[in-house]
Structure 1
């Protein structure tokens, strides 16, 4: 933003939103306090820098560089001076020199700022490169942000995402800061640096603009523009900053952000810092009462940017209080019946990052907020997070054109109409932070399906398999066939949160079906991998309650156990079945008739069983899949032809057999 975070003439500081520190409103909210580097030769420049006089400090640091001082301290401060003033072109220039010389010793915060500066000038290609440096070379254990992870695909998807919004710059914007809208009855309350004329015009030293006050405006019938701007309340507007308000549903109680200011005096912590505080006031007799502090304010840190839940029972806000994950986090308190508050609760790492999360707005369905820690387009971006049973879900960047490569924040919306307002310091505005109206397009959640088909027996891709997409009601939506790589895809666009199935068929194979459900993610591609099995079920039979692979009898030469060619042909059927069912385990039993001695028959049948098992293993079946191979001789005859019983050859042949019993089948 072009109006910087405020620092008043008492040399007090606040915490800001920062992409730029040059920002305004956020000026209103939350400036980071930077440690003083005490080297004597940098004294004047460092004093100006620590007093937030960045333009003056930048000139002094540039003079040092011209004299040959390109130390890490000077380059860091020089890049920061421009970064905090939202001059991303110069920030990128000096951060680039800093990285070229000190890449391996820099803190990850500098990768964070450099990436923001690069995105701010539209150099997303180099920003991706810095993301990789951040991931691979810098110690990020204490500074984790999605914004800087090596996720080229996610950034490309965000850059190429279809727009969801129509936006318009409002006519009521001025060359100074206008931002931070709130619904108030049938009107809009916002913050602005325009001179209210209620006091002698006082100028905020940093940006030479009047201090921020609350203003009120009418909406038109479409809710797309504002008109009839007037000061909101001479009681609530003071000589210092007021910004970002939220009202209970009835409209007679306000929560808002202000300098730590009371009794005409600015409060300070032990180091002289004037933090932000949250105040509340009630409407009585058409006038707002004097503001009182909320109980969780503190002299040592800032609290602000309130957002009330629709039922008025929860109050969300932003703070850098102890327990924060990043520069500023979003917290929530319960508002009890007596008006007191619970202890503040951090919304946790799903929402908050090592960066800055700010400007919450809560509806019955979603939390909206601004962040520079989640993956974005540059500066602060607006995100939405759905409220689930177990808390808030992973945030979704609302994309272009609502988000830009500059700061975009303070999003409010009427969920029933999908109309609302947000603030931005993007190029093309009227000079500083401006208020924009938006209309969100009706969101159509569309998904597609792709997949592949492999043969279960060997995991090889199957070509020319017929693939059909079927609705939950059984209607055929589309048919296609797999390519030489076994892949398939459908062009049919599917609705989100619906059930579908994929059916596959091929001659000689078992037709298979797999069901799936689409998610809530827009433009998601469902992947449905399929396996197909050859029709071998006729070989698998159940006899007397036992599963077996049934083949024709295999024959051996007299008194031998060698596998003959005709026997191998039958055993190959066993091999094929076992390959088709790769987790199948069998045991082999060899039996003889009663002719010959019992001992001889048992010995010969055992040799033949083990020879059979060895052949199957030689064809590529793992040995552990044959649990046992045992010959039983004439112990388990199938008919009456025992020793001493006269039988025909055909009757004896019934007992001469090899059995392949299935022990395990998945």
Structure 2
């Protein structure tokens, strides 16, 4: 290491001596220009980090204007400037620099860049040009397979009509406390609902971090001062456990140690870190704030929310090993060690290659926002059934208009009979705003939204609960899966049915074939033009093998439909192994149980046969309406 460093120092020393040799005017001029560009850009980086945005942008543009048109650094810097103008919510300037990159070096632009480029054009009411730009990337990789980009593309073509089908059964109104700043989060403190307002100049288009936060009471619109939280940790959402003994706060830090932004990096400039504090009953005060997780350069943790009576925490993160972008994770409090356990990814029932953010748990319903699932464009609000730390397979529900729009909609929250969410549908006039609806008299509430009952889940064909697991070791695992009856044809994006497979097999079982015949006989089946067929596998075996097996299962179902001359176009996809958390599966005396969580028998490792049964929900194919006439 030291030897290599010495060689590098000698090499650059000789290079400088050559460049600065008397008479070498051209080399000397080039070196001075190079050093000026680097120092000026570095100074601009530092100014931006410190919040001196006007000074930083002037410096960036000064460097850009002096670079030669043939210099490849010019396009890289233009992309950087465009991203920063998006942060500063200056659409005119952002479009100006995005245009320069698009026409000179469009391959530098990632999915995030193109989506922000389109958002900036729409912010200027240039919808037609935005659609032209979007379609330019439609057949390129990774755009043609990226759901976030596809949502953006579809929203451009349909934003005037496709999500307004009939009159809505409920009314959405702007929250009276909204002002010119960004209102972006709602939570509860000492039994009172409050909301967060960002007073910073920049606003992250991904809705992950916010600057200079102040909290206000939702009932009086008066500022609330959290004296026990350091000011630097009042930079985003704050979560309190049900008993008020643990709090989690948010801190913003600069993402990288090197350059402020690199070409091809589709990430934010800043990141969130979560810190927690425990209330000391004897001392009558809060402990020092401790990082929830060890620091990882470039990794963001955000949007904390407690559940399981404060013993568990859910949050979003782009830590390595996820499905892409921000994923939802959960972790559990270790009472003996007095610290939080390792994060567990919530799996592909929720997470996508896009971003999943702002979780909220109410009863047995988990609300979150995503730009990776099929939706109207930007972030949309979704709900799934959630219990025993497990997401119920196939219960994903996409909210209709006017909650979800072609803009960013996120952050569902309930306060008694009133529901709230956040949206940027007013554009630059209001940044992010809070909207309300009457949760007592709308289909967004009651069992359908604030907790999904067994009857409701079974009615929509989505309940895949395992009943009475392993009462004997010889039970057929397929008999344990409760098939659901035929029901009315769902809308696009909703589940038709799930069928299950034996361990290490893609052969369609007789009872599964019967279910597929029922689907073919459904009234209105011929109105479906496209169907997604998504296969999964359990976690036994290698990831490569499980991916191949999941693809074989999906293709087997497609071949069945084609043999029966079904009319829709089918889109098979294998998503590999599906994570099924086993925290609630115990093995006392050789049996598994999901019952009576209050009396926990001694745990011991599950046998292979028991794991095969526990993973049965993962061995399946989901058949989903992709498109209707």
- What is the TM-score of this pair, normalised by structure 1? 0.49
The answer to whether 1:114 aligns with 2:110 is: no
Matched residue of 1:95: which SS?
helix
Q: For 1:155-554, what aligned pairs fall within 5 Å after superposition? A: 156=158, 159-161=163-165, 163=168, 166-192=171-197, 212=212, 215=215, 217=217, 226-227=219-220, 229-239=222-232, 241-259=234-252, 276-282=273-279, 284=281, 289-293=286-290, 295-298=292-295, 300=297, 301-309=299-307, 311-338=309-336, 340-375=339-374, 379-387=378-386, 391=392, 393=394, 396-403=397-404, 407-413=408-414, 417=417, 419-427=418-426, 433-440=432-439, 442-443=442-443, 497=460, 516-519=486-489, 521=491, 527-528=524-525
Q: Distance in 1 between matches of 2:316 and 2:309?
A: 20
SS at match of 2:222: strand
- Residue by residue, what CA displacement relative to the aligned partner does 1:58-80 show, whole Å, maximum 9, x if unpaired? 45555645998484224323322
Deviations 1:178-234 (A, max 9, x none): 43111335411333457xxxxxxxxx7969xx97456352xxxxxxx5216242431
CA contact (8 A) 2:151 2:378 kept: no
> Who is 1:48 aligned against?
44
Q: What's the secondary structure of 1:517's corresponding residue?
A: coil
Partner of 1:33: none
SS in 2 for 1:442: coil
Question: Rg larger in 1 or in 2?
Answer: 1
CA distance in structure 2 between the partners assigned to 1:326 and 1:268 by the alignment: 19
Residues 111 and 149, structure 2, Cα contact 8 Å, conserved in 1: no
Q: Determine the C-alpha separation between the residues in 2 that align with 1:164 and 1:120.
A: 29
CA distance in 2, matches of 1:80, 1:267: 15
2-side partners of 1:88 and 1:378: how far apart?
18
Query: What is the alpha-carbon distance in structure 2 between the residues aligned to residue 395 and residue 115 of structure 1?
Result: 28
Corresponding residue SS for 2:295? coil
Q: Higher strand proportion, which one?
A: 1
Alpha-carbon distance between aligned partners in 1 of 2:428 and 2:259, rounded to the nearest angstrom: 37
Q: Once the two structures are superposed, what CA deviation does each residue of 1:244-300 show, in whole Å capped at 9, x if it has no partner?
A: 12233344433232357xxxxx99989998852231333859965134325534253
Question: In the alignment, which of 104, 107, 116 is matched to residue 101 of structure 1?
Answer: 104
Q: Distance in 1 between matches of 2:358 and 2:295?
A: 20
Structure 1 residues 60 and 398: CA distance shift in structure 2, 3 A: farther
1:134/1:148 contact within 8 Å kept:
no
- In 2, the alpha carbon distance for the partners of 1:342 and 1:185 equals 26
Name the counterpart of 1:86: 89
SS in 2 for 1:227: coil
Structure 1 stretches lacking a partner, 5+ long: 1-37, 195-203, 218-224, 261-265, 446-494, 499-514, 531-581, 584-666
The answer as to whether partners of 2:87 and 2:202 remain within 8 angstroms in 1 is no
Contact 2:148 2:354 (C-alpha < 8 Å) held by counterparts: no
1:95 & 1:268 partners in 2: Cα distance?
23
Counterparts in 2 of 1:124 and 1:101: CA distance versus 1, 3 Å: same
Instruction: Count matched residues.
Output: 404
CA gap 1:147/1:314 in 2 versus in 1, 3 angstroms: farther
Change (3 A) 1:402 1:40: farther
Structure 2 CA distance for partners of 1:238 and 1:298, relative to 1, 3 Å: same
| Structure 2 unaligned regions, length at least 5 | 1-33, 204-209, 261-269, 446-457, 462-484, 495-521, 528-563, 566-629
Q: Does the C-alpha gap of structure 1 residues 92 and 397 become closer, same or farther in structure 2, counting only changes over 3 Å?
A: farther
Q: Any idea what SS the aligned residue of 2:172 has?
A: strand
Kept after mapping to 2: 8 A contact 1:88/1:117: yes
Q: CA deviation at 1:152?
A: 3.5
Shift of 1:307: 1.1
1:381 to 1:280, Cα distance in 2 relative to 1, 3 A:
farther
Change (3 A) 1:138 1:322: closer
Cα deviation, residue 56, structure 1: 4.4
Per-residue CA deviations over 1:74-116 (Å, capped at 9, x if unaligned) read 4323322222222334433432443233335644443333233
* Aligned residues of 2:238 and 2:304 also touching (Cα < 8 A): yes
CA shift in 2, pair 1:349/1:248, >3 Å: same
Over 3 Å counting, the alpha-carbon distance change for 1:137 and 1:79 in structure 2 is same
Q: Is the 8 A contact 2:316 2:328 kept in 1?
A: yes
Seen in structure 2, the aligned counterparts of structure 1 residues 92 and 241 have a Cα distance that, compared at 3 Å, is same
Once the two structures are superposed, what CA deviation does each residue of 1:364-414 show, in whole Å capped at 9, x if it has no partner?
333222334445556544333444876464755535444456544332125
Q: Secondary structure at the match of 2:231?
A: coil
Determine if contact 1:361/1:367 at 8 Å carries over to the other structure. Answer: yes
- Asked if the contact 1:310/1:362 (under 8 Å) is kept, the reply is no
Q: Which residue in 1 is equivalent to 2:149?
A: 147
Determine the C-alpha separation between the residues in 2 that align with 1:144 and 1:267.
Answer: 25
Contact 2:233 2:250 in 1 (8 A): no
Q: Give the CA deviation at 1:332.
A: 0.9
Q: Is this contact kept in 2: 1:147–1:374, CA < 8 A?
A: no
Corresponding residue of 1:541: none
More helix by share: 2
- 1:351 partner SS: coil
- Deviation, 1:40, is 5.7
